[in-house]
Structure 1
Amino acid sequence: MQLRYLHSRNNMLKLIFSTSLAHTKLRKLWLSTYSSLSGDKNLILMGPPGAGKTSVGRILGQKLGCPFVDVDDDVLEKNWNMSVSNKLQDVGDDQFLEEEGKALLTFSASGSVISLTGSNPLHTTSMQHAKKNGIVVYLDVHTQDIIERLEGMKVDRIVGQRSGSSIGDILQKRKQFYKKWHDVRVLCQAGDSIEVVADKVIDAVKRYQNSESETFISTRSTGSDLDHRKGTVKYFSDAVIEGLAPDGGLYVPENSLPKLTAGEWNRLVRSTYAERAQIILEKCIHPADVPAATLGEIIEKAYGENFACTKIAPVRHLVGNQFILELFHGPTASFKDLALQFMPHLFAYCIPKMCNYLVLVATSGDTGSAVLDGFGRLSDVDKQRIGVFCLYPEDGISQVQKLQMIACQGQNGWSLGIESNFDFCQNTIKQMFTNSDYAGFLTAEYGTILSTANSINWARLLPQLVYHASAYLDLVSQGIISFGSPVDVCIPTGNFGNILAAVYAKQMGIPIRKFICASNQNNVLTDFIRTGHYDLRGRKLQPSNSPAIDILKSSNLERYLHLLTNNDGQLVKQLCGQLQTQGHFQLQSNLLGLLQQDLIGDWCSEKDCLEAIRSVYGATGYILDTHTAVAKVVADRVQDRTCPVIMSCTAHYSKFAPAILKALRIEEIKQSPLSQLHLLNSFNPLPPAHRTLLGMLKQNENQKSHVCAADSNMVMNHVELFIQNLFLKVR
């Protein structure tokens, strides 16, 4: 059946559904799936029975001045010459789904609002047919709300519901199909009127069509740079692929991150971690770069079976009003897994298929193994075109961390110990990026382009805001707070990325009051937060029991400065230039005042760190790792106890076994890391042993690391040799 326009469309319809090819600035095909939308596109409403598709569709038809088609009434019943309920009784569920799909295959329309049935998405061929000429909008209503609506409508059974299964079971099962087909999601809340939902649909489709509004800039971009950047606009995919901006700055969204309403956040209180990640990241990643269905597939790979805890990042009560956010349940036992089980698949999707990419990483301990493991999980095809090369301070990480990196080396990954500190490793990687001769040589000789998976890459930082948001929602779910009540967060950090992710979570609407930045004796951030003076002169990195925060030059602080200065790229460029050439910079007093409204900084000595581990274990039976112990000491010192504080537990204590055993005053410490872990496990501690970590150590206990002198040219030679072995020469 072919529908024609019933009357002319108004200006609203033209705005939403028509974009002239002649006036559309198409982006590089390998960067996105963006295509121009014509006036013939249908707006297809999809969702479970009771979601309000028909009611919303009628309102949309009126608002947009276009035909409305209800598949139940206008397609199925006309095709079958009988009611849908009678058809279902006649043929049964399985045959009904097939007949329903065939009927949809015979239907075509243009420029219409179409309401699908709740079960249409279960039929693949018919949905492929419908999507060819339509934008599929998923009306995402919470399962419990749907159940209550169906009960009110006296519906006690839906298509596909077998004996012994509930409506809730079927609705939950159907979510995988809605995720598979939708282009746009509209998060519906209990109490939303039909008019409100219709307006949400219009706003969501406008955003779907307008990728130009979600561009990225460098933290060092000036006004003149932005005025003269025609032809060089950067999108999410560019930020993922390039990692570092050409001017040495870091990529950030040109406009602020989207803010969810309190009602939308409340919708996520009862959701799983993966469901929260899907909705938050859909808001932050334009579908022109990564379609919603593809994003869903990546999230399933990232947070499916890779984590030992089904809650992915659970929140545990510790003592008083202090809570622990456990971020160590991933395969390499650190918070880096929360981003690096996700980012590699995103990176593989975004990069052009005809190029080789080498991902360069500097690690102060945990990032290296997490990057190697994450990129090692790519498909064999992707591993043939994406390599990973990690630099780490040879004497600046724990023995377990070193063995982990060796264990995670594989077909496409390698790690190299440097006889220096983390700052040297990080600066060397930045030199390789900014050395156009070297980067050009690698491209010309080996067809290889450099990128990074450090938190200087926006795609590394973005997934981290999810677990800060999720932790808050878990406290709401547990009845500790109601949504809107403030919390503080206390985060051990050296590179500032983890705490910056919490800042971004607040920007999206999570009510975080104070960000407590916890440092060890490498306390440059503490001094900066207190005085506004970032001063590296005369400082030497001091190795500690918390090596992941043994950092003096905090890369992600640049992004925070960009926020703090209201996106003043000129000032950020000036401050970073002063730090590079003079070793320090000073914030203006007004900016320092703004900073101190958000941040509290303090630091913890080695002695206090070990004492905290011992005292917490004695009081609760819970073993903190050496970084979380730093957070605990600082939180005890600075929190005012008027609201809960969530402390980020950034790694499993097993990775720092010698320090933990020392803290617990165990005199005889065996040399073998594996023996140390077995000794710790004999205490039956909380949390229990990390099984994946134990397995890695068993397989690689006697492996040796590869070491290089602190010489940038020698490091670049090692990188070239790795590329030679991994990729075929272009010539």
Structure 2
Amino acid sequence: MNPATFGKLLAKVRKLRTHMLFAQFGSSYFTTAWLSNHITKPHERNILLMGPPGAGKTCVGRIVGQKLGMPVIDIDDDVLERTWGMSVANKLSEIGGDGFIEEECKAVCNFNATGSVISLTGSNPLHSDAMHHLKKSGLVLYLDVDTEDIMQRLSRMKVNRIVGQDAGVSMREILLYRKQFYEKWLDARVLCGTGDSVEDVADKVLRTLGRYEDSESEMFISTRSQRSSDPKFFSDVVIEGLAPDGGLYVPKKGFPKLEPSEWLRISTMPYAMRAVAILENCIHPMDVSPVDLSKMVHRAYGQNFANQSVAPLKHLTDHQHILELFHGPTASFKDLALQLMPQLFAHCLPQMCNYLILAATSGDTGSAVLNGFRNLKDSDRERIGVLVFFPEKGVSEIQKLQMTGFQEGNAKSISVLSDFDFCQRSIKQMFGDSNLMGHLAVEYATVLSTANSINWARLLPQVVYHCSAYLDLLRNRTLAFGDPIDVCIPTGNFGNAMSALYAKQMGIPIRKVICASNHNCIISDFIASGEYDLRDRKLLVSNSPAIDILKSSNLERFIHHVSNGDGTLVQNLFLNQERERFFKVSETLRQKINLEVQAGWCSEDDCLKAIHEVHTKTGYIMDTHTAVGKVVADRIHDKTCPLVLCSTAHHGKFALAVLKALQCQNIPQDPVEQLDKLCTIGGREQMHEALLKCMRDSGSHSHKICQADFNTLADEVENMIQDSFLRVQ
């Protein structure tokens, strides 16, 4: 089967699956009137409103039922009290909490209805049999209301105890305990903002229902899309990685925009819960159910990060704050995406094929993607492999040791005697080689995909930490919601910068994104001039190798964004780049670009000087990439609002350069000894323990080194497939 035929078959399977479940939607595109007229009156299915006491289920149910012209049933009033012939309060007093839940279950399991809006009791989800019976009849919407709002409502209602609340247990504690049961049964979450009225919640319920009725709202298109292009579902773009026309996938109608009250609510949550709340708005529940998504997110950000805050925001000096993105297992910001992306990938895969993930890296992506995919469950590792290509002389020694530790199983790395751009270009060439893709599909039932930031599932989780940084400033009262911030990001491939712009699209008040380059300043030159010129430009080795990139992949998403989705323009520009190694945007478009981003670059000397100065003044040790950002931010930022500086890697990954910057004498050559030296300077609290342990356990790994030849790399891909998927069981 050739790749084109396989792709069409996969699209048909996905489309059929989706339509068999429910259609899709984007909440911001519906008015109440539209919903009332267009939501299918579900003669065979109910709308089930679930939530704790005080969530407003009964009142919301009445409003929704009236809007949709559907019967309204309240389980308390219309089922339990009629069945028992007494009030719920009297029944609870008579038999106690455990007995009440059992009797409630019996009554509910004898109840049947169709085409109704049903307000559940707060305790229905505590009994599995009751919820299995109810859930079969319709769609369960969880009214996720702020605990403080619930406490106030219950106080006004003079409710001081609920089912299951034992003596000595506070109302707040029992509400927290109950949350796990609501999270278990939901089909979709209705995230209620702080202070939302019953009418507000009812409108959100209607919009959530609308999400299941519009199949086109959350589709994805290529950045080079023409009108005739076939849009794809989230699962499709995660699996495919790169669009067939060579473009990158983006949401057809952009990102959903959250309301200020919703952001205020999310700001009170820990990082993993913030991620769930944000990503649920970006991933349709029929692609990844809220229950599955929550499990993946908590697995990704649970025990894998050394800091409890996952991505803590720390004050540096004056208006500057550092967003530490390096507390994951491989000490890089890439972990924030690559602890989650492999799980999303495995979830979306059809069972019919094996998949080999290819990644090119200038340093940090390699170890992060290898770590993330190696940690998949056994059944997924049997059909998903990952192969990383990295430049032999273009990464730090510690980065190389991290990657070359992966040489067996489903995760391997190979170095290439060239630079990152060659590695990335070769991978894109493989995806465009129909003969190669067809050969791998026919001979090995294997499909290639990518884990670089061109893959949407790699980019999307990065949006979360930009949102989270603003919410931390909100929570610690540095600003009020709506006050702007600027963000400074050391960038080469533009993925991290693009994710900040997407956070802005979701409603985070980011004024400007400042892009910081080292002396490979292709991005800053483009933003200043509107010309992207690769002619006669050579990649220069630097102390910040993760941004040693000349061909910036995610710039294509940015131009699509600022040109209001002009696929023809994007296609012409990037085809010209491939042919001529050059393109230029119009002056009008360049001015629009400058409204969104600013840019600058930093010399090697200034980078090291910044590390020394910051340590001298504050005791804080930056890595070389953060230092590039610091230098550029100091030059560009006007200091009229807070600035968030993204610290994309731990300083220990670049120990040799950092020790030189700190003017240390007698610097050891051994990487472990270098890390120990940094411990004596910054203290143990500034060291990355997982990185230190990795280096101590690694020893010296031999690894394969390839010539810079496309066919050689293609052969290594085939060898990897044979080793991974043709093993004798």
User: What is the TM-score normalised by the length of structure 2?
Assistant: 0.94
Q: How does 1:339-418 map to 2 (within 5 A)?
A: 339-418=337-416
Which secondary structure does the structure 1 equivalent of 2:640 belong to? Answer: coil
Preserved contact between residue 407 and residue 703 of structure 2 (Cα < 8 Å): no
Answer yes or no: is 1:233 the counterpart of 2:231: yes
- Match for residue 52 of structure 2? 48
Q: How does 1:175-574 map to 2 (within 5 A)?
A: 175-223=179-227, 225-226=228-229, 232-574=230-572
Shift of 1:135: 0.8
Q: Deviations over 1:446-486 (max 9, x none)?
A: 11000011000011101101100010010010110000000
Q: Pick the aligned partner of 2:609 from 603, 608, 611.
A: 611
CA distance in 1, matches of 2:275, 2:215: 21
Preserved contact between residue 623 and residue 685 of structure 1 (Cα < 8 Å): no
Q: Deviations over 1:577-597 (max 9, x none)?
A: 111111111110000010011
CA distance in 2, matches of 1:545, 1:63: 62
Shift of 1:29: 5.3
CA distance in 2, matches of 1:392, 1:499: 22
Shift of 1:718: 1.1
Preserved contact between residue 219 and residue 559 of structure 1 (Cα < 8 Å): yes
Read off the aligned partner of 2:316 and give its amino acid letter.
Answer: L
- Match for residue 579 of structure 1? 577
Read off the aligned partner of 1:178 and give its amino acid letter.
Answer: Y
Answer yes or no: is 1:690 the counterpart of 2:688: yes
Preserved contact between residue 196 and residue 261 of structure 2 (Cα < 8 Å): no
Answer yes or no: is 1:165 the counterpart of 2:169: yes
CA distance in 2, matches of 1:664, 1:401: 20
Shift of 1:91: 2.8
Q: Measured at CA, do residues 602 and 142 of structure 1 come closer, stay the same or move farther in structure 2, by a change above 3 Å?
A: same
Q: Deviations over 1:590-621 (max 9, x none)?
A: 00010011111100111111111111111111
CA distance in 2, matches of 1:696, 1:101: 52
Read off the aligned partner of 1:502 and give its amino acid letter.
Answer: A
CA distance in 2, matches of 1:310, 1:32: 40
- Match for residue 21 of structure 2? 34
Which secondary structure does the structure 1 equivalent of 2:281 belong to? Answer: helix
Read off the aligned partner of 2:446 and give its amino acid letter.
Answer: T
- Match for residue 13 of structure 1? none
Read off the aligned partner of 1:566 and give its amino acid letter.
Answer: N
CA distance in 1, matches of 2:406, 2:478: 39
CA distance in 2, matches of 1:410, 1:33: 40
Shift of 1:685: 3.6
CA distance in 2, matches of 1:62, 1:193: 17
Q: Pick the aligned partner of 2:88 from 77, 84, 87.
A: 84
CA distance in 1, matches of 2:571, 2:542: 32
Read off the aligned partner of 1:429 and give its amino acid letter.
Answer: I
Compute the RMSD of aligned alpha carbons: 1.7
Q: Deviations over 1:38-81 (max 9, x none)?
A: 53110000111100001111122222222111111222222233
- Match for residue 664 of structure 2? 666
Preserved contact between residue 194 and residue 264 of structure 2 (Cα < 8 Å): no
Which secondary structure does the structure 2 equivalent of 1:138 belong to? Answer: strand
CA distance in 2, matches of 1:443, 1:649: 41
Shift of 1:101: 2.4
Q: Pick the aligned partner of 2:678 from 680, 691, 713.
A: 680
Q: Deviations over 1:391-450 (max 9, x none)?
A: 101111111111111334552100001110000000010011000100110111111000
Which secondary structure does the structure 1 equivalent of 2:441 belong to? Answer: helix
Preserved contact between residue 362 and residue 545 of structure 2 (Cα < 8 Å): yes
Read off the aligned partner of 2:623 and give its amino acid letter.
Answer: D
- Match for residue 103 of structure 1? 107
Answer yes or no: is 1:127 the counterpart of 2:114: no
Relative to structure 2, which stretch is displaced further, 459-468 or 64-73?
Answer: 64-73
- Match for residue 229 of structure 1? none
Preserved contact between residue 395 and residue 545 of structure 2 (Cα < 8 Å): yes
- Match for residue 31 of structure 2? none
Preserved contact between residue 32 and residue 237 of structure 1 (Cα < 8 Å): no
Answer yes or no: is 1:71 the counterpart of 2:72: no
Which secondary structure does the structure 2 equivalent of 1:139 belong to? Answer: strand
Which secondary structure does the structure 2 equivalent of 1:417 belong to? Answer: strand
Q: Measured at CA, do residues 30 and 416 of structure 1 come closer, stay the same or move farther in structure 2, by a change above 3 Å?
A: farther
Preserved contact between residue 54 and residue 115 of structure 1 (Cα < 8 Å): yes
Read off the aligned partner of 2:236 and give its amino acid letter.
Answer: D
CA distance in 2, matches of 1:686, 1:640: 35
Which secondary structure does the structure 2 equivalent of 1:612 belong to? Answer: helix
Q: Measured at CA, do residues 689 and 311 of structure 1 come closer, stay the same or move farther in structure 2, by a change above 3 Å?
A: same
Q: Pick the aligned partner of 1:146 from 146, 150, 154.
A: 150
Which secondary structure does the structure 1 equivalent of 2:300 belong to? Answer: helix
Preserved contact between residue 469 and residue 510 of structure 1 (Cα < 8 Å): yes
CA distance in 1, matches of 2:270, 2:87: 38
CA distance in 1, matches of 2:130, 2:225: 47
Read off the aligned partner of 1:403 and give its amino acid letter.
Answer: L
Q: Deviations over 1:245-291 (max 9, x none)?
A: 00111011111111111121111111111111111111111112111
User: What is the TM-score normalised by the length of structure 1?
Assistant: 0.93
CA distance in 2, matches of 1:608, 1:307: 31
Preserved contact between residue 88 and residue 96 of structure 1 (Cα < 8 Å): yes
Which secondary structure does the structure 2 equivalent of 1:349 belong to? Answer: helix
- Match for residue 141 of structure 2? 137
Q: Measured at CA, do residues 687 and 523 of structure 1 come closer, stay the same or move farther in structure 2, by a change above 3 Å?
A: farther
Preserved contact between residue 26 and residue 35 of structure 1 (Cα < 8 Å): no
CA distance in 2, matches of 1:719, 1:30: 31
Q: Pick the aligned partner of 1:710 from 708, 714, 717.
A: 708
CA distance in 1, matches of 2:463, 2:101: 40
Preserved contact between residue 386 and residue 411 of structure 2 (Cα < 8 Å): yes
Answer yes or no: is 1:112 the counterpart of 2:116: yes
Question: Unpaired segments of 5 or more residues in structure 2?
Answer: 1-11, 24-39
Read off the aligned partner of 2:707 and give its amino acid letter.
Answer: A
Question: Unpaired segments of 5 or more residues in structure 1?
Answer: 1-24, 227-231
CA distance in 1, matches of 2:323, 2:20: 36
